[in-house]
């Protein structure tokens, strides 16, 4: 069994794809095809990242030797871990790959088609670990480019912003900037009202204060736009 076949085994057990196993381990999924074809070897760094996330031992991933997973045994009524070794924890200066949402994918069916592409055909950019929103995994983040002037001067066209997908389509606090997946379009506005009784939200442009009421049930995804990544490109 090759290292890639062991990745396939992990993916099968976790009911994921190999790309998802790698991406959710904080590494760029484009490396998968190179490992599958033998152009690149599976690195110790990737094996360590998978061990940290999924608890499959890096020694087994790389060589097939030893137990597949961390195991426990009973001794005098006490459960003790075996086959454990120190794993490097991500530091603030570590880089993590983040999916970019380019302008051509911001509206219409282009957005849906873009998200359905394999990872190696999407755009990615690595950012420092400490730029992630606290407690939110890398795979829930995206880098989005501002277009149009509705949010000027708060946000200007050409700026790249960091956003993360909220859990269960929850909304951030009033006054925060949101990106909404609404009617096959990603719109970026300021959240100004949440009406639980009507099940609607109201968002507002920054420059002309124009408001728009949107039914919650018609919003597919909610993102909180929380930080500048880069200014003008």
Which CATH number characterizes residue 60's domain?
Answer: 1.10.260
Backbone phi, then psi, for 133, in 5-degree steps?
A: -70, 130
Contact between 12 and 99 (Cβ < 8 Å): no
| Burial of residue 26, with CB atoms counted within 10 A of its CB: 0-12 exposed, 13-18 middle, 19 or more buried | buried
Q: Could you tell me if 106 and 190 lie in one domain?
A: yes
Contact between 76 and 49 (Cβ < 8 Å): no
Domain with 70, as residue range(s), is: 3-82
Backbone phi, then psi, for 53, in 5-degree steps?
A: -80, -45
Q: Could you tell me if 193 and 225 lie in one domain?
A: yes
Predicted local distance difference test score (pLDDT) of residue 151: 87
The H or E element that residue 14 is part of is: helix 3-14
Q: Could you tell me if 69 and 99 lie in one domain?
A: no
Neighbouring C-alpha atoms within 13 Å toward the C-beta of 30: 12
Predicted local distance difference test score (pLDDT) of residue 70: 65
Residue 133 DSSP SS3: coil
The angle at the Cα of 167, spanning 156 to 152, to the nearest 5 degrees, equals 10
Q: Could you tell me if 78 and 99 lie in one domain?
A: no
Beta strand 95-101 with 141-145 is parallel
Q: Give the domain CATH number at 198.
A: 2.10.109.10
Predicted local distance difference test score (pLDDT) of residue 222: 93
Predicted local distance difference test score (pLDDT) of residue 24: 82
Q: Could you tell me if 107 and 212 lie in one domain?
A: yes
| Burial of residue 103, with CB atoms counted within 10 A of its CB: 0-12 exposed, 13-18 middle, 19 or more buried | middle
Predicted local distance difference test score (pLDDT) of residue 110: 63
Last residue of a domain, one of 47, 82, 117: 82
Predicted local distance difference test score (pLDDT) of residue 116: 78
Predicted local distance difference test score (pLDDT) of residue 204: 95
Q: Could you tell me if 101 and 77 lie in one domain?
A: no
Give me 179's structure tokens: 């990106």
Q: Rounded CA gap, 173 and 218, in Å?
A: 20
Low-confidence ranges of the chain (pLDDT < 50): 72-90, 92, 232-233
| Burial of residue 195, with CB atoms counted within 10 A of its CB: 0-12 exposed, 13-18 middle, 19 or more buried | exposed
Find the radius of gyration of the CA atoms of the chain: 21
Number of domains the chain contains:
2
Evaluated on CA atoms 54, 60, 64, 68, the torsion sign reads negative
Q: Could you tell me if 60 and 106 lie in one domain?
A: no
* Longest CA pairwise span in the chain (Å): 71
Q: Could you tell me if 103 and 215 lie in one domain?
A: yes
Q: Does residue 68 form part of some domain?
A: yes
Contacts with 113 (C-beta within 8 Å, 6 or more apart), sequence order: 105
Q: Could you tell me if 122 and 59 lie in one domain?
A: no
Q: Could you tell me if 26 and 102 lie in one domain?
A: no
The angle at the Cα of 222, spanning 219 to 223, to the nearest 5 degrees, equals 150
């Amino acid at each position: 069994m090759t290292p890639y076949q062991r990745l396939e085994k992990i993916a099968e057990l976790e009911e994921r794809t190999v790309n998802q196993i790698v991406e959710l381990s904080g590494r760029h999924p484009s490396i998968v095809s190179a490992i599958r074809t033998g152009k690149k070897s599976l690195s110790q760094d990737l094996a360590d990242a998978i061990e940290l996330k999924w608890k499959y031992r890096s020694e087994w991933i790389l060589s097939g030797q030893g137990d597949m997973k961390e195991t426990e045994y009973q001794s005098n009524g006490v459960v003790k871990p075996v086959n454990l070794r120190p794993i490097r924890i991500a530091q603030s200066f570590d880089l993590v790959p983040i999916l970019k949402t380019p302008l051509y994918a911001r509206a219409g069916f282009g957005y849906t088609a873009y998200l359905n592409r394999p990872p190696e055909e999407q755009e990615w950019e690595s950012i420092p670990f400490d730029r992630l929103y606290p407690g939110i995994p890398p795979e829930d983040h995206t880098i989005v480019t501002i277009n149009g002037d509705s949010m000027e001067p708060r946000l200007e066209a050409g700026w790249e912003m960091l956003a993360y997908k909220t859990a269960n389509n929850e909304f951030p606090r009033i006054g925060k900037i949101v990106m909404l997946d609404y009617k096959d379009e990603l719109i970026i506005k300021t959240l100004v009202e949440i009406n639980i009784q009507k099940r609607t939200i109201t968002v507002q442009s920054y420059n002309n204060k124009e408001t728009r009421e949107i039914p919650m049930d018609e919003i597919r995804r909610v993102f909180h736009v929380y930080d500048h990544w880069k200014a003008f490109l």
